[in-house]
Amino acid sequence: KLENQRNNLLKALRDDLKPGRLFCGRNKVMQVALGVDAESECQDGIHGLTEYLSGEVGLLLTDMTSEHVMEVLANHEQANFARSGCISTADITLEAGDDAKMAT
């Protein structure tokens, strides 16, 4: 699942996954490209993937082992500032009082 994605980070990830390909885009477009049913699928049985294309997801096509892919993904995990609409992953509490750093 792709959350709070940044283009520069995705570019670096794509470079490390080469010669594999990482596709991110509109889910409906990827579903049509794969095939929405057995008659329209681009390869036998691949239309079954379309049910997993919801939310912020992508498709990774590679011949790497799953262990190697997980290692590459773990090396690219990075904390970054949130975009609008994201839910906070941390609670921050400011104590009441006079703080000179907060004065304007």
Categorize the per-residue pLDDT at 100 as very low, low, confident or very high, splitting at 50, 70 and 90: low
Give the Cα separation of 22 and 66 in Å (integer).
15
Whole-number average pLDDT of the chain: 83
Structure tokens at 49: 């993937």
Structure tokens at 62: 């590679």
- Length of the chain equals 104
pLDDT at 5 over 90: no
Task: Indicate the pTM of the whole model.
Answer: 0.61
Q: Per residue in 35-86, pLDDT tens?
A: 988 899 888 988 888 888 888 888 899 999 999 999 998 998 777 677 677 7
Categorize the per-residue pLDDT at 23 as very low, low, confident or very high, splitting at 50, 70 and 90: confident
- Structural domain boundaries of the chain? 7-97
Q: How many CB atoms lie within 10 A of CB 17?
A: 19
**Burial class, 83, CB count within 10 angstroms (exposed 0-12 / middle 13-18 / buried 19+):** exposed
What dotted CATH number matches 7-97?
Answer: 3.30.70.1730
